Amino acid sequence: MPPIAKHKKRKPKVAQERDNGWLVAGFDTSQSCLAGAAIAWDATLRRHKGPVFTIERWQKGEDYLSRIRKCGYSFELLLDLKHKLGVITDSEYIFIGQEEPWPFGMAGGSTSSYLKQQAEISGAFLAGMLRFGYANVMQMNSMRWRKTVADDLGITTHHSKWQDPALVKMYNCIPKDTGKFRSKQWALDSPPFAEKFYAEIPDLPDIIKSKDGNIPRPEGSVAKAIQPADEYDALAIMWTLYLELEQSGLLAK
């Protein structure tokens, strides 16, 4: 009887987890629109990407429950940002910042109806993200991202510095709250992205009031703006979250 051949036992190969990079997104959510901005680290190409933008804007007559339903599918906005960045990132390395529905201490009085709807919009947005596995969501007070903007502009968030009459002429806006335009001024004039992120920040149309609600100012219109495009606030939220994550060491690159 011939001897039985002995075979060496092969150790199974340990599958190494693939590095798919990370993505940081910021969202400004309101009763008129959902605006998002995102940046990413592409681990395959080994380079940073973004910022890119996405928006869902509603007209004045659109049913409120229809808006809530669209908020429940907020993950589609994130997928749009991922597509524009061209990255495949695991959900555990996707970080999402969203502005709080309203500043702390504001609830009560004649604003209760507005606050109720704002809270429902915010809650539906969060549920849409969480339902589809995007659990790294952080809500952010507006003063948190405004400080980031103010620091880059070399001012403070105190109303005497945050408001600036010069912005009225610069953006053809109403003088009531020029501070709303600080995020646009910051994004276009003092972009803090140049060291790592190379996408040019677009000069988006400002928002005006019309019979159809808040809309981007049409080309050639001389109507005074009430605020800049919502994407700029989303960008400031995103960048503030990115800086905090980078400082904490949660981002690899």
Please state the three-class secondary structure of 193-227 as a single string: CCCCCCCCCCCCCCEEEECCEEEECCCCCCCCECE
User: Per-residue pLDDT tens for 201-219?
Assistant: 999 999 999 988 889 999 9
- CB proximity list for 79: less than 8 A, separation 6 or greater: none
User: Which pLDDT score is estimated for 241?
Assistant: 96
Which portions of the chain are predicted below pLDDT 70? Answer: 1-18, 103-112, 190-191, 194, 252-253
What domains can be seen in the chain, in order of their start residue? 22-248 (3.30.420.10)
pTM of the predicted structure, to 2 decimals: 0.88
Q: Name which of 113, 129, 111 is nearest 29 in CA terms.
A: 129
User: Which pLDDT score is estimated for 216?
Assistant: 94
